[in-house]
């Protein structure tokens, strides 16, 4: 059944509150942190009251264990951030640059806690975007491998997907982030069927344990744990698809990301100790073609400040994969042709009009375009393959907002 509705709306100024609290680490108020974050301002029991409950109980459990002496107080502070989806996290990041820089990892809990016996309710853990490949991708899989067989429950991992606060893993923010999610077995997403009776206490228990294990491991990890975490990061890239230079580069990136957990004075020695995990990759000169995209802001570009008829047919970067992934590869140095090559290595070839999209962003003031080094005067990059590029190859999910 379809319903046509007329909605009377208006824009107005107001506040979008968020709540944060910590389990202090031994490193003090200016020390490093680990973060768990999720959304308070959604309408359902599964989405996302369960996520909020899981995060609160994860910290409560860890706090009890630390206070009782059963767990040592970790060096890093463990922080919880309860907020509106995506937009409040953008404000938190902008308002706390020093704290964000000191945050070494995060778990986004935007997830149902659905019944064990229904198909499609298994937990799925979404990885970092490849531009932010990190050891945490391997760590969360290891935690899942250790835990879920004990309760007889399957689990999965999947590549990065936009649409929630897992964008913290992209390089301009730089917090390696895992997103935990499951289906509900029946369609309850953003509708009146998302009721408390559909919540399974066993699922809540599972996610509390996994989230708490991830947070405490990251809060306590240091030089001693770095080789183990690096090996887990390497293992993630060694499994599945056939090895190639691109995957070797990402594997090396994940291995070396553990150096962030090591005191700066010790990073050289630890890097040398990780040599057996690093793979040889030929050095390729970056092809210079036309333009370099320089970002003016971190994270995704949702285009919410533009009316739909002003977007020239381009989709929101908050919900659509090709523009999000391409944006994350833009480091202010790579020519656009290299950005497209890396994007298509990550998500496959598409007809998305990358050149047109970034020129549109530049016209609207979201990015700057500059000539690629030593390429002044060359013709601008054009979509490979010729012909009209498809701006609508990927569309926002209908339920986005």
Distance CA 42, CA 190 (A): 8
Task: Give the β-pairing of 33-39 and 103-109.
Answer: parallel
User: pLDDT digits over 349-381, tens only?
Assistant: 999 999 999 999 999 999 999 998 864 444 443
User: pLDDT digits over 343-352, tens only?
Assistant: 999 999 999 9
Least trusted range by pLDDT, from 134-148, 279-293, 302-316, 370-384: 370-384
Residue 332 has pLDDT above 90, yes or no: yes
Mean predicted lDDT score pLDDT of the chain = 90
CB 65 within 8 A of CB 79: no
Residue 22 has pLDDT above 50, yes or no: yes
Helix-helix angle 226-238:136-147, to 10 degrees: 90
Residue carrying structure tokens 């009721």: 195
Residue 140 has pLDDT above 60, yes or no: yes
Residue 237 has pLDDT above 80, yes or no: yes
Distance CA 122, CA 114 (A): 9
Q: Which helix (H) or strand (E) holds 295?
A: strand 291-295
pTM of the model: 0.90
Across residues 248-256, what is the average pLDDT?
A: 97
Which pLDDT belongs to residue 379?
41
Give all strands of the β-sheet with 33-39 in edge-to-edge order: 19-23, 77-83, 33-39, 103-109, 177-182, 123-126, 155-158
- Specify which residues 104 forms β-bridges with: none
Across residues 100-109, what is the average pLDDT?
A: 97
């Amino acid at each position: 059944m379809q319903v046509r509705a007329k909605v009377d709306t208006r824009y107005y100024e107001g506040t979008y509150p968020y709540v944060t609290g910590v389990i202090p680490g031994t490193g003090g108020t200016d020390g490093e942190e680990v973060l768990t974050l999720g959304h308070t301002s959604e309408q359902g029991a599964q989405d996302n009251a369960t996520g909020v409950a899981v995060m609160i109980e994860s910290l409560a459990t860890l706090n009890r264990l630390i206070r009782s002496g059963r767990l040592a107080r970790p060096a890093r502070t463990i922080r919880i951030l309860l907020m509106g989806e995506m937009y409040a996290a953008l404000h938190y990041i902008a308002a706390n640059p020093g704290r964000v820089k000191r945050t070494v990892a995060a778990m986004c809990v935007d997830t149902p806690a659905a019944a064990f016996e229904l198909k499609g309710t298994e937990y799925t853990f979404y990885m970092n975007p490849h531009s932010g490949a990190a050891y945490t991708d391997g760590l969360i899989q290891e935690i899942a491998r250790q835990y879920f067989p004990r309760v007889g429950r399957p689990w999965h991992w999947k590549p990065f997907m936009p649409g929630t606060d897992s964008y913290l893993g992209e390089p301009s923010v730089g917090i390696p982030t895992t997103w935990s999610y499951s289906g509900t077995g029946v369609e309850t997403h953003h509708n009146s069927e998302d009721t408390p009776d559909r919540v399974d206490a066993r699922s809540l228990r599972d996610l509390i344990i996994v989230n708490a294990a991830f947070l405490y491991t990251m809060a306590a990890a240091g030089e001693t744990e770095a080789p183990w975490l690096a090996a887990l990061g390497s293992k993630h890239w060694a499994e599945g698809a056939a090895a190639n230079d691109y995957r070797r580069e990402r594997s090396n990136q994940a291995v070396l990301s553990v150096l962030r957990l090591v005191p700066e004075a010790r990073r050289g020695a630890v890097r040398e100790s990780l040599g057996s995990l690093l793979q040889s990759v030929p050095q390729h000169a970056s092809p210079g073609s036309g333009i370099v995209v320089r970002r003016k802001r971190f994270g995704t570009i949702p285009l919410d400040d533009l009316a739909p008829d002003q977007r020239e047919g381009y989709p929101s970067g908050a919900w659509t994969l090709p523009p999000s992934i391409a944006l994350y590869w833009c480091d202010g140095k790579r020519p656009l042709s290299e950005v497209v090559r890396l994007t298509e290595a990550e998500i496959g070839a598409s007809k998305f009009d990358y050149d047109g999209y970034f020129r549109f962003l530049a016209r609207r003031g979201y990015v700057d375009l500059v000539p690629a080094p030593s390429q002044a005067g060359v013709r601008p990059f054009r979509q490979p393959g010729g012909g009209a590029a498809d701006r609508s190859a990927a569309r926002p999910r209908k339920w986005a907002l």
